[in-house]
Structure 1
Amino acid sequence: MTRPPLTNMQTRDVEALLHPYTNPATLRAEGPFIVSRAEGLHVFDAEGRRYLEGMSGLWCCGLGFGDAELIETAREQLGRLPYYHLFAGRSHEPAIELAERIKELAPGAARVFYQSSGSEANETQIKLVWYFNNARGKPQKKKIISRAKAYHGVTIVSASLTGLPYNHRDFDLPVDRILHTATPHAWRGAEPGEDERAYAARLARELDALIEREGPDTVAAFIAEPVMGAGGVIVPPEGYFEEISAVLARHDVLLIADEVICGFGRTGQWFGHQTLGFKPNAISMAKQLTAGYAPLSAVAIDAEMAAAVEDNASRIGVFGHGFTYGGHPLGCAVGAKALEIYQRRDIPGHVRRIAPLFQARLRALADHPLVGEARGLGLLGALELAPDKSGRAAFEPAGKVGARMAAELQARGVILRAMGDVIGFCPPMIIDEDGIEELFAPIPDALDATLAWARAEGLMR
C-alpha cells in the first residue's frame, strides 16, 4: 500500500499538533487522516471520499453525525446562556434537567456530579470513595481494584486504574493504592474444559484471595466496565458479575460501573450493568451522554454515598471538589436533548432489534483463518486477530497485523479501530440493515488481504 506525498494540510498538522495515541514517527512519514465533514453514519476526508464510521468516532456518536435536533439545541443554548458554573450554590436549568433525566434512567442514582471527560469522571469516583470512607470512619479503606486490560482514562489515578501497559510506561504509573485483577476473557483465560460459569467462579475466588491478602479493611472499591472497551471489547463470561458482586458485598467493597462506553443504549438497555445483571453503587458516564456533540461527563452515586458525602461536607463547611466546565450549560443542554431523543426514538429498543443481525454478521467471520475470536454484545463487537484459534497464541510483535487490517478497511471505505491485534466495532446506534451491510461487506476481502500480507511478512503460516 503506497503512500502519496503529504498534502499541505497534513504537513501543517504534523508541525503543529501532538496527537494522542499515535506513533509520532509514523505520523511524520504518513501524515494524518484529515476529516473534513460528517453526515449520518459517514465521515468525509479532505478529498471528499466517504467512509462508514464504524466506531462512532471514539465510541461516542450514538446518533451519528449531523443530528438536526442536537445542533439546534446547541445553537439555542449558546444564544441563551453560553457559560455558567455550579460553584457556590449557583445552578442553571440545563444542569438540573439533565440530572433529573439521568436519575430517571439510572436505578438507584441519588445525586449527579458533572465533569468534562470520562477520565475526570473516574478520577472523581475515586476521590468520592476516599471521601466516603473517611466520612464513615474507615480511613484505611482506600485501595481500588481494577482489572488487567481495563480502560478508565488517562488522568493520574484513572490512568493507574487503566490496565494497559502503554498508559503506564514512562508516566511513573500506576500510583499506589491501585490494584489489578484478571481480565475476564474466557477465550484467552479459561482452562481446557472449564466452562464460562466455572471460569467466572474461579475469577471471583481470585478476587476474594486478593482482597484477603491486602486486608478487607484496606480495600474500598472495585471498578469495572460492563463490557471492556479499549482493552478489546471483552464480554465477561456468564455469571461473572453475579460472582464478583457477592465477593464485594462480603467485604464491604463498593462497586463502580464505568458506563462511559456501554451507557445509554449501546448494549440494548439503558446501561450495560442492567444488561449484565448487576447493581453498582456508583456509575460513570460520558461519550453517548451527549452523543459526542459536546464534552460532558457525569458521576451518579447512590443514596448512602450521597448522604455521607453531603453530611461530611456540611461538617467541613464546603465540598472541596469541582471543575470550571463541570455542568457547562452547552454540554448539559445537548445531553438533556440527547437523552430525550434516545427515549423518544427508543434507541435501546432499536439496538435490541438490530443487534442480532450485527452480531450474526460479526460471528460469521469467526471461521476466517486470521480470526481467533469474534465476540460482542449489543452494538459492540470485536475480531481478535491471531495466528491460530487456540486462545493461547498471539502475534509477535503485537499490533502490526491489527494496524494493517485497519488500513485495509480504511482503503475500502470503512473506519474501525485496531486495539493491538483486535479490531473493534461500535457503529452509531442509528445504524440500520443497509448500514450493517455496508459495514461488513468489505471485511472478508480486507481479511484476505491482511492474511496474505501477514504470511508474506512471516507473521503467520
Structure 2
Amino acid sequence: MNETIAIQPAKSPNSTEARDIRYHLHGYTNGRLHEDIGPLVIDHGEGIHVYDADGKAYIEAMSGLWSAALGFSETRLADVAAAQMRKLPYYHTFTHKAHGPVIDLAEKLVAMTSHLTPGGMSKAYFCNSGSEANDSAIKLIWYRSNALGKPEKKKLISRMRGYHGVTLASASLTGLPNNHRSFDLPIAGVLHTGAPHYWRDGLPGESEEAFATRRADELEAMILAEGPDTIAAFWGEPVMGAGGVVVPPATYWEKIQAVLAKYDILLVADEVICGFGRTGNMFGCDTYGIRPDVIILSKQLSSSYMPIAALVANDRVLGPVLDESARIGTLGHGFTAGGHPVATAVSLETLRIIETENLVANAATQGQRLRAGLAALGDHPLVGEVRGVGLIAAVELVTDKAAKTALPVPGKLGAMMNIALHDEGMICRVIGDAVAFCPPLIITADEVDAILHKFRAALDRIAGDLGI
C-alpha cells in the first residue's frame, strides 16, 4: 500500500492530537510524518457519517476499514452488547467449555456457508481478527498434512496484491510489498502468483477469458515447478480489497479451481471484506461460484462493533485435524478471547439485522447506482478505470489514459485526491493511485448521490490544480 494522508498540522501540546503523537504508534502510517501533522481525531458517528473533534462531518465511504456494515450508530448492537456484558461478560472455549452465543453463532455460520462446498461445512472456529483467522487456517492445514502422513505438503500459494493480514504467516500470504519490506517476509514456503487485474496486466489484444486462462496456466506451472505433493493450499479473496478492489475477469475462478482440483490442493476463500453482502450476494463465493474448503470471515460479521473473526471449514480439512488431536490428546491452539460472549452475541444480532433489513439486496441496488455513477465519470481526464461489484468499487486515477499512468511519483496523485476528498467531507481509501469505495450496507440512494457529488468535486479540483 502507498497511502499518505496530510490533513492538518499537529495541535497545541495539550490537545488530543499532540498527546496522540507522543503515545500512540499508528499502523499503515508514516510515523515521522504523523509527528508533524497529527491525526484526524474522530469523535462520534451517526449512520454513514463520522464527525471529527471539531464537529466536521464526513461521509465514511469506506465503512471504516471495509467493515462497518451497519454504519456508526446502530443501537441494537449496543443494547445486545450491554445485555451480554451484564449476563456473562467473558468466558473462554478451552477444555470442553462453551456459552450460548458462541454455540449459536457457530451453528449459524456453518448453516450459512454449507451450500458453498460439497458435503457442507463442518465446524466454525473463532478468533479476534482476519489475520488471526488466516494464521489459524495455516496452522490447521499444516497440522492436517502431518495427520495425513504428508509432512512435505506444506507450501502455500496466494497472489500478488492479495491481502490476508499482518501476523507473520498471514502477512506472508499478503502480496503487497510494504507488508514485507524490512519485516523479513514472506516466510519460507509461501509463494505468490499473478493478480487477476485484467485492465492493468492484460496483454494487447488479449480477451478477459484468455487472460484468465493465462493466469490459471501460470498457477499450474508454479505448482508443477514446486511439486504438486508439496502444495497444501491456495488462498484468494473473491474480490481483492486492499490490493485495489481487483475484480476477477470472466471465467477466472472457474479456471483456477480446475487447477486446484487437478492437484488436490485446498482452497481457502478469504471473505473478510466480501462476506455478508458486500458483493451483492451473501458471500463473494456465491457471486463467483467459488467452492472453498475453508472460509475466513470477519469485519462485517459484527459490523466491526466488536473484534471477532471466524474460520469455517469442511470435513475434508477438519476430519484429519480432529483425528490428530485425538492422537496427541489435545488441539494445542486457541485464543484467550476467541469466541468472546459479547462479540459473538453482537455478531448474531448483526446477522439478524442484515437478513431482516434485506441489506444484501440493498447493497446490490445501491452498489449498481454507485458503480453506474462512477462509470459516468469515465470521460474525466483523471479517470483511468472504474471497477467494482456489489457495493465495493474503485477508480484508478491517471494523467495519461492511453499509457495507464499517473504522476511520475507513484501514489502522489492518490495522495492529492485523498486530501481533496477530506476537504470535501468524505473518507475513502486511497491505494496507490486508486480510490476505493466501500460504504455501509445501510446506505440510501441520496447518500450514494452525495458520494458521487463529492468525488466529482474532488476530481475537478485536482484536475484544475494540475492544469488538465
Q: TM-score, normalised by structure 2?
A: 0.95
Q: Name the CA distance, whole Å, in 2 between partners of 1:2 and 1:289.
A: 31
CA deviation map 1:55-90 (0-9, x unaligned): 000011001111111110000010011100000010
One of 253, 256, 272 as aligned partner of 2:284: 272
One of 12, 21, 24 as aligned partner of 2:28: 21
Whether 2:17 is the aligned partner of 1:10: answer yes
TM-fit CA distance, 1:97: 0.7
Structure 1: tracts of 5 or more residues without a match: 456-460
TM-fit CA distance, 1:30: 1.4
Residue 289 of structure 1 corresponds to: 301
SS in 2 for 1:360: helix
Q: Matches of residues 315-394 of structure 1 in structure 2 within 5 Å?
A: 315-390=327-402, 392-394=404-406
Residue 3 of structure 2 corresponds to: none
Residue 196 of structure 2 corresponds to: 184
Q: Name the CA distance, whole Å, in 2 between partners of 1:326 and 1:449.
A: 47
Q: 1:385 to 1:80 in 2, by over 3 A?
A: same
TM-fit CA distance, 1:398: 1.3
Residue 83 of structure 1 corresponds to: 90
Q: 1:392 to 1:362 in 2, by over 3 A?
A: closer
Whether 2:110 is the aligned partner of 1:103: answer yes
- Give yes or no for contact 2:233–2:266 (8 Å, CA) kept in 1: yes
Whether 2:246 is the aligned partner of 1:234: answer yes
Q: Name the CA distance, whole Å, in 1 between partners of 2:237 and 2:230.
A: 22
Q: Name the CA distance, whole Å, in 1 between partners of 2:425 and 2:224.
A: 51
- Give yes or no for contact 1:372–1:391 (8 Å, CA) kept in 2: no
Q: Name the CA distance, whole Å, in 2 between partners of 1:404 and 1:69.
A: 38
TM-fit CA distance, 1:361: 0.9
Residue 124 of structure 2 corresponds to: 112
Whether 2:55 is the aligned partner of 1:48: answer yes
Residue 398 of structure 1 corresponds to: 410
CA deviation map 1:265-317 (0-9, x unaligned): 11111110110111000000100010110000000001221211111111111
SS in 1 for 2:145: helix
Q: Name the CA distance, whole Å, in 2 between partners of 1:309 and 1:22.
A: 39
Residue 458 of structure 1 corresponds to: none
TM-fit CA distance, 1:197: 0.7
Q: Name the CA distance, whole Å, in 2 between partners of 1:302 and 1:395.
A: 47
TM-fit CA distance, 1:109: 1.9
Query: What letter is aligned with 1:232?
Result: G
Query: What letter is aligned with 1:68?
Result: T
Residue 463 of structure 2 corresponds to: 451
96-105 or 393-402: bigger deviation:
393-402
Q: Name the CA distance, whole Å, in 1 between partners of 2:7 and 2:439.
A: 28
SS in 2 for 1:418: strand
Query: What letter is aligned with 2:101?
Result: P
SS in 1 for 2:410: coil
One of 415, 422, 443 as aligned partner of 1:431: 443
Q: Name the CA distance, whole Å, in 2 between partners of 1:298 and 1:391.
A: 42
Residue 129 of structure 1 corresponds to: 141
- Give yes or no for contact 2:303–2:350 (8 Å, CA) kept in 1: yes
Q: Name the CA distance, whole Å, in 2 between partners of 1:353 and 1:2.
A: 33
Q: 1:120 to 1:4 in 2, by over 3 A?
A: closer
TM-fit CA distance, 1:388: 2.0
TM-fit CA distance, 1:12: 0.8
- Give yes or no for contact 2:384–2:404 (8 Å, CA) kept in 1: no
Q: 1:67 to 1:236 in 2, by over 3 A?
A: same
SS in 2 for 1:87: coil
Q: Name the CA distance, whole Å, in 1 between partners of 2:33 and 2:464.
A: 23
- Give yes or no for contact 1:401–1:454 (8 Å, CA) kept in 2: no
Whether 2:42 is the aligned partner of 1:30: answer no
CA deviation map 1:407-445 (0-9, x unaligned): 101101111011111111000001010110111112112
- Give yes or no for contact 2:126–2:338 (8 Å, CA) kept in 1: yes
Whether 2:260 is the aligned partner of 1:255: answer no
Report the number of matched residues: 456
- Give yes or no for contact 2:7–2:37 (8 Å, CA) kept in 1: no
Percent identical residues: 48
- Give yes or no for contact 1:160–1:175 (8 Å, CA) kept in 2: yes
- Give yes or no for contact 1:145–1:178 (8 Å, CA) kept in 2: yes
RMSD between aligned alpha carbons? 1.3
Q: Name the CA distance, whole Å, in 1 between partners of 2:47 and 2:180.
A: 36
Query: What letter is aligned with 2:85?
Result: L
Q: Name the CA distance, whole Å, in 2 between partners of 1:203 and 1:431.
A: 36
Q: TM-score, normalised by structure 1?
A: 0.97
SS in 1 for 2:332: coil
- Give yes or no for contact 1:40–1:64 (8 Å, CA) kept in 2: yes
236-245 or 301-310: bigger deviation:
301-310
TM-fit CA distance, 1:353: 2.2
Q: Name the CA distance, whole Å, in 1 between partners of 2:322 and 2:463.
A: 58
SS in 2 for 1:43: strand
- Give yes or no for contact 1:227–1:272 (8 Å, CA) kept in 2: yes
Q: Name the CA distance, whole Å, in 1 between partners of 2:99 and 2:9.
A: 51
Q: Name the CA distance, whole Å, in 1 between partners of 2:169 and 2:404.
A: 31
Q: 1:90 to 1:2 in 2, by over 3 A?
A: closer
TM-fit CA distance, 1:3: 4.4
